[in-house]
Chains A and B, each alone.
Chain A
Amino acid sequence: MTTQTIDPATFEELKATTGAEFALELVGTFLEEAPGMLNDLRTALGANDADTFRRAAHSLKSNGNTFGALNFAAQARALELGGLSSAKEGGSRALDELDAEFARVAAALAALRYA
């Protein structure tokens, strides 16, 4: 795992290929959407809804990769591939860790956004 919350090369490439202004708007969209998806994960865990759980983890992984949030994406990927059953074994620990990583990602992206 990389030690950086946001991989600068990935984020720079996103800016270069889509335009800096658009990339920052997209960050805004992610910061608005991600809490809902993190919430979906918890709700799905509680409701034993494997499809929604997998889909939410999948989306978070995909978005994490887009912005270079590689740790975050790796954690989400583990949830996607492990599925509901393996997440249950650890109680909500994995979800707590993902929330914590998201807080770091959000702070780092916000810093980039207002840099």
Chain B
Amino acid sequence: MNWTPSLRASPQPWLRCVMRDRHQAPARLLVVDDNKVNRLLLTRSLELHGHTVASAENGRVALEMLRRDGFDLMLLDMEMPEMDGFQVLEQMVGDLQLRDTPVIVTSSLEGIANVVRCIELGAEDYLAKPVNPVLLKARIGASLEKKRLRDQQKALVRRFATPEVAQDLQDSGFALGGKRVTATVLFSDIRDFTSLAESQAPEETIELLNTYYALMFDAIGGHGGIVTMMMGDGLMAVFGAPVPLPDHATSAVRAAQEMTELIELFNHERMAIAKPKIRIGIGIATGEVVAGYTGTNDRAAYTCIGDTVNVAARLEAHTKLAQRPILIDGATRAALGDAFAAEDLGPVPLKGKAAMVDVFAIA
């Protein structure tokens, strides 16, 4: 594989969006209070601050509206018929969709125990009624800013990790360390990329890589795999972790076939503008891997390690010698069943492997 300047050298329009959004003011707020005077008064105050406000008269209606419409922030009364504020907070804590919506409690309930209970149930803040408008504005501003930062973090995680990894992180939190899973690993890279890169302008190479990655991500993601690593013109993908995938071997092979088909289509376009064709090699292996977060507490990546990963990498390298675009190991072949035609290339010695490895080529 070749080390090429990072993709991050390309313009980052999303970063500009993030920076622009920092100072946005209006938000969509939900006011929940069973008392009409309180509801109207809070709504008015918030509208005067430039926000868009909807209201609900009890907890049950509020949860329905939150689930249906989504809001940036909720102002929640505690004493309500049907479903009170405490019950609303309890439901939100256990709800993946709702638990990140900030809640400011506005209540005239007395006693520190009530305040403590609200905060323990995840409320951002507690304002006593009648709510001081200046304090209200400050607390809402602070809560919205915190939410914006959290949303940005989530967006960043999604940008640099896959949605599956982002979800895994959100559900179970971050912890270094892995678990053993049976999965299929795929390695792919562009043949003769160094000479190609040397023959053209760097900008052109970056553009080529971006297109290449867009196509490969599409094929891999479309079959349930995740890309765990990008290195220059090469990538590693995993099928079956962190989210279990039935038939991960079949999915990986289908993804590989789609990758080569997409490259063919891409080559038609390149030839039309008198650019050289590119070719890719893909190696696939199935077996036990250790999957998890490796690195340090400050900087880590989701990855898979183990012998299966090494075999897949060696098979990818072996595609040059074998003159075949897609090579798989015996375990992958066995998992495929009769659905695919595979050419038996026999046992092959692979670098770093003491025993010979059964290698098959996929048409």
Are B130 and A65 touching (Cβ within 8 A)?
yes
* A26 interface neighbour in B40, B79, B110, Cβ under 8 Å: B40
Whole-angstrom distance from the CB of A40 to the nearest CB of chain B? 10
Are A29 and B37 touching (Cβ within 8 A)?
yes
Are A33 and B79 touching (Cβ within 8 A)?
no
Whole-angstrom distance from the CB of A32 to the nearest CB of chain B? 8
Are B37 and A66 touching (Cβ within 8 A)?
yes
> Chain B residue with minimal CB distance to A13?
B133
Q: What bracket does the count of chain A residues touching chain B fall in? A: 20 to 34
B-facing residues in A1-51 (Cβ within 8 Å): 17-19, 22, 25-26, 29-30, 33
Q: What bracket does the count of chain B residues touching chain A fall in? A: 10 to 19
> Chain B residue with minimal CB distance to A22?
B44
The reply on B316 being an interface residue by CB < 8 A is no
Whole-angstrom distance from the CB of B127 to the nearest CB of chain A? 12
CB contacts (< 8 Å) of A54 on chain B: these are 79
The reply on B67 being an interface residue by CB < 8 A is no
CB contacts (< 8 Å) of B222 on chain A: these are none
A13 to B362, CA, bound (A): 79
Known A26-B41, A33-B36, A66-B37; judge A18-B108 contact (CB<8 A). Answer: no
The reply on A75 being an interface residue by CB < 8 A is no
Whole-angstrom distance from the CB of B75 to the nearest CB of chain A? 14
CB contacts (< 8 Å) of B37 on chain A: these are 26, 29-30, 33, 63, 66
Are A62 and B48 touching (Cβ within 8 A)?
no
A65 to B107, CA, bound (A): 12
A102 to B47, CA, bound (A): 30
The reply on A81 being an interface residue by CB < 8 A is yes
Known A54-B79, A62-B108; judge A29-B129 contact (CB<8 A). Answer: no
Are A62 and B38 touching (Cβ within 8 A)?
yes
A-facing residues in B285-311 (Cβ within 8 Å): none
Are A55 and B79 touching (Cβ within 8 A)?
yes
The reply on B81 being an interface residue by CB < 8 A is yes
A50 to B349, CA, bound (A): 82
* A66 interface neighbour in B34, B38, B80, B109, Cβ under 8 Å: B38
Are B45 and A55 touching (Cβ within 8 A)?
no
Are A58 and B79 touching (Cβ within 8 A)?
yes
Known A55-B81, A66-B130; judge A18-B41 contact (CB<8 A). Answer: yes
Additional A-B contacts beyond A26-B40, A33-B36, A58-B108 (16; CB < 8 A): A17-B48, A18-B41, A18-B45, A19-B44, A22-B44, A33-B35, A54-B79, A55-B79, A55-B81, A59-B79, A62-B35, A62-B108, A62-B129, A65-B129, A66-B129, A66-B130
Residue pairs across A and B with Cβ atoms less than 8 A apart, 17 shown, are A18-B44, A18-B48, A22-B44, A29-B36, A30-B37, A33-B35, A33-B36, A33-B37, A54-B79, A55-B34, A55-B79, A55-B80, A58-B79, A58-B109, A59-B35, A63-B38, A65-B130
The 3 tightest CB contacts between A and B, nearest first, are: A62-B108, A59-B35, A17-B133
B interface list, Cβ under 8 A from A: 34-38, 40-41, 44-45, 48, 79-81, 108-110, 129-130, 133
A interface list, Cβ under 8 A from B: 17-19, 22, 25-26, 29-30, 33, 52, 54-55, 58-59, 61-63, 65-66, 81
